[in-house]
Structure 1
Amino acid sequence: MKKGKKLSDKKIIFWVLGIFCILLIGATVYTVLMSRKASEEVQGEAQDTQDQFVTYNGKKYEKNPDIRMILFLGIDKESTADLGGNPGTNGQSDSINLLVLNTKEKTGQFLQISRDTIVPIDVYDVQGEKILTEEGQLALQYAYGDGKEKSCRLTKEKVEELLYGISIPDYFALTIDGISAAADAVGGIPITVPKDYTYLHPAFQEGAKITLNGSLAEAYVRGRDTGELDSNVDRMERQSQVMQALLVQMKTEEVQESYASIYQKMQPYLVTNMSFERLESLAEYEISDEILTLPGEVQEEDGKAAFYPEEIKTREFILKLVYKEIES
């Protein structure tokens, strides 16, 4: 009996030692993994910090702290009251314009971004869970949100990725019928028609100086010749022109006196994360007549237009737009 008891005690000792070793090994592995994770997080933070500085072709650049971006979206589904449906049905960002502001110099310039730009589109289900990512036109990303803030955020993030990680803190989305309302609210938008667009409306003759009321403004920014592969290029130019002219019109004394009233009228048509005061401050900026575009080319894919930015030229373009060279 004693011998059997001693044998049982040995087994117990071995079991205890075994469990202790397993726990010791587990603790060691856990410590190593956590240390590695901490190290990776620190490296990630260091990388984020290093992004403030870029070295290119032997020259060092620093992000310009005076540059601020606002993403303007024109949505092709009428009125936000109709939005909020299933993912993929919430409209598309028909017009995508990035307003690049210099807060020190109080100047601004528009960068057109083609709706046909091919990017990885994140597709979501009805529960809001991402189910896959596939290449598609940038305009489609808006459709896979909620038709409101999430759609704007998803589109904004894709534009940030497209432009190599630049930060775009603000967005302003306006539905198509909102463009008409905006034109009427500011008393019309004066423009000079740059080309012959009489196929859109008889009033749009080349060189004509006209004031766009609501219905004319919508026809001017929405219409395109669907028979032409690159017809969106002309439409983008018109959309940027109207947005630019609208900001100029906002600087007039008559409009400035009724900002609050105009803002209230526009509420049913817009989605933005900007305060009224922030929007009002845009009247302080001088907006350049020159409209920027990304370098690249339009190709035909499955009967549709596909715009591909030229990588090296786009990198250099963003470097010049957002960074400033550090003198050695």
Structure 2
Amino acid sequence: MRNKRSINMYNYRRRRKRRNHARGKIYKRLRIGFWILFATVIVLGLGIFSALRFSGEKKIEKEINRPKQTEEGVEEDLVYSDGKTYRYLENSINILFMGIDKEGDMSQIKETGGMGQADAVFLLSMNLDSERIRMIAIPRETVVPVEVYDRNGLYKETRDEQIALQFAYGQDEKKSCELMADAVSHLCYQVPIHKYIAMNMGILPELNDVVGGVRIQADEQVKEMFPDAETGRFYRLHGEEAVTYLQSRDSSQFASSMDRLERQKQYILGFILAARLQMQDDTSLPLNLYEQFKGNYTTNLSADEFTYLAAQAAEMTFSERSLFVVPGEMVQDEVYEKYQVDDDGLFDTVLDVFYERVRGY
């Protein structure tokens, strides 16, 4: 009886060992299959990302290498000032960024006056040779010739108004952006504007959190908005805090929008730095942003162009010293504040950002 039991136990152990061995082979194959699948997904993802970057690069090169023409049709890339000669920087792409005080799907608005105003206006220049980003902040109250259109989209007149209003006179999102691009180019001595991005400010909380929040340094204004903040300390903005930080102003105080503009500059710098860190772990971030927020922004950048430029920007030099403000002063007329541009100062800024000194002329 004991021998029979021993034989049965022996056979049971052999069967269990064979089953465990078989299971081990299956689990091993599953693990190998998983890692092969994982590697395939990574390779495919990198392949798609690389293909988008390559395609975007070719399109951007074609865009920025178009010959620059004067009104007479003669190619011209030199500017003369104070006995010095300057040449427009080659391989630069200039992008107009606009923050619009309107929420909802921008593509659904088809009426003049319904698009909202451009509360934030920034002209960014990326030089692909020097790998440097520079940006000019344009106060929303800057006085420029604004093209006025009626509700049917018919041109009425051109009059001096705040630049923020030019966006409102477009009959749809594309027309509004084109009007703004023309106005900013005219302001900046006909600097070419190759691309534009306009986003409604309603997506700020979500956009802010996608990059893990944006780090800012608290000053007295921040302390007024967030009583628990300590002046001089760094904080990371989350969700609606970003909206409060970027849009708050005391309208009873003269030129309070200029303080808001300074906060916008600091926020943009912080956002770019945060996005760079995110892209180190997730190279698909630009494409995900492009797809995720469709309808809440309008741009003439294609997905591959956006992906390429975002990848380039992640490797470029960009600091507080790269940020400029259109020189001028705020004045009060009978009703509204208006920002009067210092033309000579702006001309020097344009030369500094978009041109290089040429020796030997």
Separation in 2 of the partners of 1:42 and 1:88? 33
How many residues in Structure 1 have an aligned counterpart in Structure 2?
285
Cα distance change of structure 1 residues 221 and 310 upon mapping to structure 2, 3 Å threshold = same
2:186 is matched with which residue? 161
Structure 2 segments unaligned to the other structure (5+ residues): 1-68
Separation in 2 of the partners of 1:165 and 1:323? 13
Question: What SS class does the counterpart of residue 302 from structure 1 fall into?
Answer: coil
- The match for 1:307 among 331, 336, 339 is 339
2:164 is matched with which residue? 139
Question: What SS class does the counterpart of residue 44 from structure 1 fall into?
Answer: coil
Cα distance change of structure 1 residues 179 and 307 upon mapping to structure 2, 3 Å threshold = same
- The match for 2:286 among 253, 259, 279 is 259
Deviates most, 207-216 or 188-197:
188-197
Shift of 1:63: 1.1
Separation in 1 of the partners of 2:302 and 2:202? 22
Q: Does 1:268 align with 2:300?
A: no
Question: What SS class does the counterpart of residue 88 from structure 1 fall into?
Answer: coil
Question: What SS class does the counterpart of residue 292 from structure 1 fall into?
Answer: strand
Deviates most, 212-221 or 308-317:
308-317
- The match for 2:304 among 249, 274, 277 is 277
2:210 is matched with which residue? 185
Separation in 1 of the partners of 2:295 and 2:160? 32
Shift of 1:232: 0.7
Q: Per-residue CA shift, 1:194-222, capped at 9, x if unaligned?
A: 44323333355422322111201111111
Q: Per-residue CA shift, 1:72-127, capped at 9, x if unaligned?
A: 11101112358514312310000011112221121112211100000111111233
Contact 1:101/1:109 (<8 A) preserved:
yes
Separation in 2 of the partners of 1:60 and 1:261? 44
TM-score, reference length from structure 1: 0.81
Q: Does 1:44 align with 2:72?
A: yes
- The match for 1:298 among 315, 330, 344 is 330
Q: Does 1:67 align with 2:92?
A: yes
Question: What SS class does the counterpart of residue 222 from structure 2 fall into?
Answer: coil
Which letter does structure 1 place at the counterpart of 2:102?
Answer: K
Shift of 1:303: 3.4
Separation in 2 of the partners of 1:154 and 1:127? 16
- The match for 2:274 among 249, 264, 268 is 249
Cα distance change of structure 1 residues 203 and 255 upon mapping to structure 2, 3 Å threshold = farther
Cα distance change of structure 1 residues 70 and 218 upon mapping to structure 2, 3 Å threshold = same
Deviates most, 171-180 or 271-280:
271-280
Shift of 1:45: 0.9
2:145 is matched with which residue? 120
1:25 is matched with which residue? none
Cα distance change of structure 1 residues 65 and 219 upon mapping to structure 2, 3 Å threshold = same
- The match for 2:134 among 109, 114, 118 is 109
Alignment of 1:53-64 (within 5 A): 53-64=78-89
Please provide the CA RMSD for this pair: 2.1
Cα distance change of structure 1 residues 220 and 122 upon mapping to structure 2, 3 Å threshold = same
Q: Does 1:201 align with 2:233?
A: no
Identity of aligned residues (%): 27
Which letter does structure 1 place at the counterpart of 2:319?
Answer: S
- The match for 2:197 among 172, 181, 196 is 172
Question: What SS class does the counterpart of residue 295 from structure 2 fall into?
Answer: helix
Separation in 1 of the partners of 2:88 and 2:290? 33
2:101 is matched with which residue? 76
Question: What SS class does the counterpart of residue 287 from structure 1 fall into?
Answer: coil
Structure 1 segments unaligned to the other structure (5+ residues): 1-40
Contact 1:80/1:147 (<8 A) preserved:
no
Question: What SS class does the counterpart of residue 314 from structure 2 fall into?
Answer: helix
Contact 1:201/1:219 (<8 A) preserved:
no
Shift of 1:223: 0.8
TM-score, reference length from structure 2: 0.74
Cα distance change of structure 1 residues 204 and 167 upon mapping to structure 2, 3 Å threshold = farther
Q: Does 1:150 align with 2:175?
A: yes
Shift of 1:254: 3.4
Contact 1:189/1:211 (<8 A) preserved:
yes
Cα distance change of structure 1 residues 128 and 303 upon mapping to structure 2, 3 Å threshold = closer
Shift of 1:246: 1.3
